[in-house]
Amino acid sequence: MFFRKKAAPDNALEEAREESGRKKLTFMVKKEVKQHLEAGRNSLNQGRIDDAISHYRSAVETDPSCALSHFNLAYAYHEKGLQESALDAYGKAVELEPTCSLFLENLARLQFETSDYRESARLFHRASMVGPIQPISLGLWGRALFEQGLYEQAIETFENLLERDHQPLIQLGGKYWLAMGHIKQGRVAAARRITETILKEKDLDAKILFDLGEHFVEARCISLSRKIFERLLNEKDEILAARLRLDDIKRLEEQIDEALPKLFDGDEERLLHQIHALREFGSDKISKALISMLDSPSAPVRENIIRYQTAFGYDAGPKILPLIEDPVVYVREAAYEYFEKLDRGEYLDKLKAGLYDPMPSITRIVARVAGRFGSIDMAPELEMLAGDPRCRECREDIRDAIASVKRRYQKQQDMLYRMKIKPAAGRGEFPASGRFQFWLLLVLQCSVIGYLIYYLFTRL
């Protein structure tokens, strides 16, 4: 599976180390140390790890203050599988060069291998604050957060990974863990959407498909599970477990076909009983049948229909949207919860009215949605609500939303700041518009300075 233990070091890491060294790292290395480092590298490239370790030890003994020597020694220990020795050597390199993202990143990877997920996540975060980190490290960082149960932070990390690296293998691994994070958060709709994009890929890993299918079976989403296992059988006919799962799903679908006609017979109590029984299965047929009954005069029926769509992640947003104004509180609350779990930002403008709903639970829901998708324009409104005595019960959620909105805005600004400006054509001259702005600014500055001088002399 993607982003698992023993993900580093490898040839890709060696290339990343060389590239980072060219771009970011400059070390004052003594001549004798350099000779040992070059000999160690040659040995490592030839697969003679013990000889490489010997050369790197000599480099460390020659100059114990050289961080690069400790790093290379740690790298060789890591290749040899000597994790404790590698941890000590990486730690020494970080101690000597505490702001080197490359050293921090490799130490974080090794901590991940030793299952110290908390320390690994902390080091990845520290590395990301001082320099760019490799895509595989973003994946391991997300895994470290996931293993600690920090699913929301893991989701954000995997989303960053998918934005940054578009290699098919990285995209597949990132989407898989992103879907797992959403399932853990109860956002089946988001997991469903991600899985649908995975199923559109041509070449898929059988392990990924089977594991996704098992998770959706556990979530009782049988229609989607069927798609996954059918695709798996098309890819790998020999997987007996997938065939058995598919047979089980088909038997459940036969039971659903028998039960569906009963939905349209009987009074409210009988209907609620049937819906409750059908909530054991996430079926496309059940979803469509229930949506057709969403205008029922019975508030409990409307609520149960919404709860069904939420539990199994069906995208029925346009149908459910009017119910955020339902006069019955628990129906309205169910509608807002549906859109929170749907995890789609396009409905936020419609949901904003819920910030002023008399029910604090609804205000909390909308605050969480705003925290995930809101723009900086929402910050003043949220800050005003945080100071409103009527929002005392949900103040913490509102403040969390404000922090999330501002953090996202700052990230966007940082990305814009890092964008490289292309030089103007010609001999390094300003374009016409740039020259005009330059001279206008110069004239304005001179005018201000002249006015200050005049003011000072006339007052003396």
Dump pLDDT digits (tens) for 390-409: 888 899 999 999 999 998 88
Model confidence, pTM: 0.78
Instruction: Identify the pLDDT of residue 428.
Output: 42
Residues 6+ apart with CB under 8 A from 194: 175, 178, 179, 182
CA pair distance 146, 427, nearest whole angstrom: 52
CA angle, 117 then 120 then 125, to 5°: 125
pLDDT at site 21: 42
User: Which of 23-37, 229-243, 254-268, 423-437 bottoms out in mean pLDDT, i.e. has the lowest?
Assistant: 423-437
Token pair 């100059």: residue: 63
| Cβ-contact 363, 394 below 8 angstroms | yes
Q: Is there a contact between 191 and 183 (Cβ–Cβ < 8 Å)?
A: yes
Instruction: Determine the Cα–Cα distance for residues 349 and 181; give it in Å rounded to an integer.
Output: 26
Average confidence score pLDDT of the chain: 84
Q: What angle do CA 391, 396, 399 make, to 5 degrees?
A: 95
Q: Is residue 424 part of a domain?
A: no
What's the token pair of residue 273?
A: 């009983």
274 and 261 in contact (C-beta within 8 Å)? no
CA distance 134 to 111: 16
Domain ranges, residue 380: 344-415
Residue 165 lies in a domain: no
Weakest-pLDDT range from 205-214, 329-338, 339-348: 205-214
Alpha-carbon distance 263 to 261, whole Å? 5
What is the average per-residue pLDDT within 23-47? 78
Q: Which residue has the tokens 């292309």?
A: 422
For residue 332, how many other CB atoms are within 10 A of its CB? 23
Please give the torsion angle defined by the CA atoms of residues 261, 267, 269 and 275, in that order, rounded to the nearest 10 degrees.
Answer: 20
Return d(Cα 380, Cα 375) in angstroms, integer.
11
Please state, in angstroms and rounded to a whole number, the distance separating the CA atoms of residues 121 and 307.
35
Could you tell me if residue 380 is inside a domain?
Answer: yes
pLDDT band at 69 (very low <50, low <70, confident <90, very high): very high
Residue 372, in any domain of the structure: yes
CB environment 298-310: b (16+ within 10 A), e (fewer): bbbbbbbbbbbbb
DSSP state letter for 267:
-
Closest listed residue to residue 111, CA positions, set 134, 82, 144: 144
- Look at residue 408 and tell me if it is in a domain: yes
Q: State the total domains in the chain.
A: 1
DSSP per-residue string spanning 246-280: HHHHHHHHHHHHHHGGGGGSS-HHHHHHHHHHHTT
Q: Say how far apart CA 254 and CA 250 lie, in whole Å.
A: 6
Q: Is residue 206 part of a domain?
A: no
- DSSP, res 324: G
Q: Which of 365, 375, 362, 429 is nearest to 402 (CA)?
A: 375
Q: Residues 148-207: pLDDT tens digits? A: 999 999 999 999 999 988 898 899 999 999 999 999 998 999 999 999 999 998 888 888
Confidence of residue 19 (pLDDT cuts 50, 70, 90): very low
102's tokens: 């490359």
Asked if the bond preceding 300 is cis, omega within 30° of 0, the reply is: no
Which residues are CB-contacts of 283 (< 8 A; sequence separation ≥ 6)? Answer: 222, 223, 253, 256
Q: Residues 43-47: contacts with CB within 8 Å, 24+ apart?
A: 44/75, 44/76, 44/79
**Structure tokens, 361:** 């639970």
Q: What integer pLDDT is reported at residue 460 of this predicted model?
A: 45
Predicted confidence at residue 453, as pLDDT, reads 53
pLDDT tier for residue 32 given thresholds of 50, 70 and 90: confident
State how far the Cα of 256 lies from the Cα of 250, in Å rounded to an integer. 10
Question: Does the residue 383 lie in any domain?
Answer: yes
Q: Flag whether 58 is in a domain.
A: no
Instruction: Choose among 307, 318, 18, 12: nearest CA to 135.
Output: 12
Q: Is the pLDDT of residue 424 over 50?
A: no
Question: In the structure encoding, which two tokens stand for residue 163, read together?
Answer: 């934005």
Residue among 353, 285, 350, 341 nearest 315 (CA): 341
